[in-house]
Amino acid sequence: MTLMAEPAAGRFGDFGGRYVPESLVPACAELAGAFREAWADKTFRDELDHLLAVYAGRPTPLTPALRLGGELGIDLWLKREDLAHTGSHKINNVLGQALLARRLGRTRLIAETGAGQHGVATATAAALLGLSATIFMGSRDIERQRLNVFRMEMLGATVVPVTSGSRTLKDATNEAMRAWVADVPHSHFLLGSVGGPHPYPWMVREFQRVIGTEARSQVPSVPDVVVACVGGGSNAAGTFAGFVDTTARLIGVEAAGGAAMTAGAPGVVHGSRSMVLQDAEGQIAEASSIAAGLDYPGIGPEHAHLGALGRAEYRTVTDAEVVAAIHRLARAEGIICALESAHAVAWVLRAAGSADLPAGSRVLLTLSGRGDKDMVTLSEGADK
Amino acid sequence: MIPYGGKALVPYVTGGITADWTSYVLAYEAAGADAIEIGLPFSDPMLDGVTIQQASDRALARGATVDGILADLSEIKVGVPLIAMTYANLVFRAGPAVFCRRLAGAGITGLIVPDLPVDEAAAVSAAAADAGVALILLAAPVTPDDRLAEIGARSRGFVYAVSLMGTTGERDTLDASASRLATRVKAVTDLPVLIGFGVSTPAQAATAAESADGVVVASALMRRVLDGATPDDVRTDVAALRAALG
């Protein structure tokens, strides 16, 4: 199979759609039209490709993890999004959307952020293109990702603490959407993942497709397994896009405390129908993960669709496995990855040699970001 | 649902915000409400400003549930229509048919779902019609004319004209976009048109009613309730709104 070029009415099977207030419908429709047009416009594509190359550092390398792979009895290749500018794959989507915002005459970027990686990337693109940026971040995430708050502010962005609800990504997303409703003529809502109303799941997957396209051309042979962490699921969506038409199994790894695919039920939150952690009445549950970027009760609708089809599989790992995985990768390969990315590593560590990942498997793992931002969290954990 | 001719007043209360919350419903009726909007609180009220967020949080923290709120309503006698307001996930989680039948069973005859635009409303609209519940659609200042006509044709009960681009909440002045939108909506539908969002004072209600058939008032009343106002206190507020509307 291939992924839908443009999902009709924003639907991926039973999932997706555009569940937003009427006030936002025209803006979503305008954005869908603008993206469709830009994505077919060679000038736009060339400008984005140029920025990705000379500014974001693409293509990112594919690193054979020889020592860790050897210890595990598998061939392990790491797609190094941690080496992209700003330290994660988030820059791919942000540069695309920021160019689109400028094309639409918007002067202000509004974004939500969890770990701060998307916020930093948005602040970066705003600085580069001369736009203003307002970043909504849960106050709990601000406490545990203070370094990224400093980075955003240094780049000229305004960081707005969100104190409602669980004070994490879910609530930051609510607040960003509220800010968007109030400033539609000037603002572009720069959503960081493959969730939200149409066209975001489609558009963000397309902007992240570069991960999978590059990796496909870099791997020595088609992998048996392609694995990436999923919160909202943007790095996984971009990676899967390059391999969905191959024989590779696609594995998304969720945080045990934020496992929308594994423990959720169909629901509507933040503009689309997807799998959502919720109670029997439909109140959205508060996720709980050591990785702020995965601390989210939902997932992008295309993942829900791929999961329903059985084309992609979703697994969970615990916080403890994630911390162990960061240390193991660091010692074996000299790479300190982000807590989020370490979820994919943790699954490989657990599954290698089992029926889920037999010895000799060829594995492509997208390392979505670097771990600098997590040093405080990890050192505090080590003190305990 | 809304009386034709006069100027309708639809005050709002968050279900379950206090133990005796239905006393507010009765107070609204006594003060001259034409219909009463009952909020079924949702954890992530994306279109609501800080007041309704706090009201929802308080109700949920008290253990408010849809079933509990509907059971409370079944225990009182209200002579004016009741309209539920909630977000799409609560409707879909139960299933539109089950959800709408539950509302009808508690005497609720209208439903407002702010994150369910007309394009996504077909299933809920059909389920609501089957249950005898009017699915009230919202129009916004940015809604283009062709969508406005569709909203006018597919809404039931009345059309809810969102006065401004923003979330619910009190404002110092009524945005000029309110009357422009109400006039545009009235041109495409015979249904009554009520203005909501930011209608905070009797004077603003009177201004809104110059171009619309009535108003929905929520945050201004819920701010008072959050601050401790009793049903008697807010009856005075609603009576003042009633007097301003005539």
Q: Which is catalytic among the residues B29, B37, B72, B213? A: B37
CB contact under 8 A, B44 and A165: yes
pLDDT number for residue A173? 95
pLDDT number for residue A384? 42
Q: Where are the beta strands (DSSP E) in chain A?
A: 11-12, 15-16, 62-64, 75-80, 108-113, 132-138, 158-162, 187-189, 225-229, 249-255, 265-269, 272-276, 312-317, 362-367
Q: Are residues A182 and A245 in the same domain?
A: no
Q: Are residues A216 and A304 in the same domain?
A: yes
Domain membership of residue A131 (yes or no) is: yes
CB contact under 8 A, A22 and B89: no
| A333 catalytic residue (yes or no) | no
Q: Render B118-147 in DSSP notation, one character per residue.
A: GGG-HHHHHHHHHHT-EEE-EE-TT--HHH
Tell me the two tokens of residue A220: 């020595």
ipTM: 0.97
Domain membership of residue A202 (yes or no) is: no
Q: Is B8-244 CATH 3.20.20.70?
A: yes
Domain membership of residue A75 (yes or no) is: yes
Q: Are residues A345 and A214 in the same domain?
A: yes
Q: How far is residue A30's CA from residue A352's CA, in Å, rounded to a whole number?
A: 46
Task: Tell me which residue in A19, A21, A283 faces B42 most closely, judged by beta carbons.
Answer: A283
Q: Are residues A261 and A112 in the same domain?
A: no
Sign of CA dihedral A275, A278, A283, A285: negative
Q: Are residues A149 and A76 in the same domain?
A: no
Within 8 A of A26 by CB-CB distance, chain B residues are 142-144, 147
Domain membership of residue A196 (yes or no) is: no
CB contact under 8 A, A18 and B119: yes
Q: Are the CB atoms for A276 and A260 separated by under 8 Å?
A: yes
Task: Tell me which residue in A23, A268, A283 faces B165 most closely, judged by beta carbons.
Answer: A23
Cis link prior to B231 (omega < 30° from 0)?
no
Quick one: how far is CA B240 from the chain centroid? 19
Nearest to A130 by CA among A112, A96, A103, A107: A107
Q: Are residues A75 and A106 in the same domain?
A: no
CB contact under 8 A, A178 and B44: no
Q: Are residues A345 and A283 in the same domain?
A: yes
Q: Are residues A174 and A257 in the same domain?
A: no
Q: Are residues A370 and A269 in the same domain?
A: yes
Q: How far is residue A12's CA from residue A9's CA, in Å, rounded to a whole number?
A: 9
Give the single-character DSSP code of B150.
H
pLDDT number for residue A26? 97
Q: Give the gap in angstroms from C-alpha A174 to the nearest C-alpha of chain B.
A: 5
Task: Tell me which residue in A18, A20, A268 faces B89 most closely, judged by beta carbons.
Answer: A268
Residues of chain B contacting A, Cβ within 8 Å: 42-47, 49, 53, 57, 60, 65-67, 87-94, 114-120, 137-144, 147, 151, 162, 165-167
Q: How far is residue A320's CA from residue A384's CA, in Å, rounded to a whole number?
A: 13
Q: Which residue of A has its CA nearest to B66?
A: A281
Domain membership of residue A3 (yes or no) is: no
Domains contained in chain A, number: 2
Q: How many other C-beta atoms lie within 10 A of the C-beta of residue B50?
A: 16
Domain membership of residue A257 (yes or no) is: yes
CB contact under 8 A, A23 and B53: no
Tokens 């171009």 found at:
B211
Q: Residue B177 is inside which H or E element, if any?
A: helix B177-188
Q: Are residues A336 and A252 in the same domain?
A: yes
CB contact under 8 A, A165 and B92: no
Within 8 A of B99 by CB-CB distance, chain A residues are none
Tell me which residue range forms the domain holding A308. 59-88+209-383
Domain membership of residue A43 (yes or no) is: yes
- Per-10-residue mean pLDDT of chain A, 384 residues long, equals 84 97 97 97 98 98 98 98 98 98 98 94 98 97 91 98 90 96 97 98 98 98 98 97 98 96 96 97 93 92 98 98 98 98 98 97 98 90 56
pLDDT < 50 regions, chain B:
none
pLDDT number for residue A382? 62
Q: Are residues A349 and A368 in the same domain?
A: yes
Tell me the two tokens of residue A276: 């959502």
Q: Which is catalytic among the residues A90, A193, A274, A321? A: A90
CATH number at residue A243: 3.40.50.1100
Could you tell me the CA-to-CA distances from B120 to A215, A311, A322, B109, B117 in Å, in that order?
37, 27, 39, 21, 6
Q: Are residues A63 and A41 in the same domain?
A: no
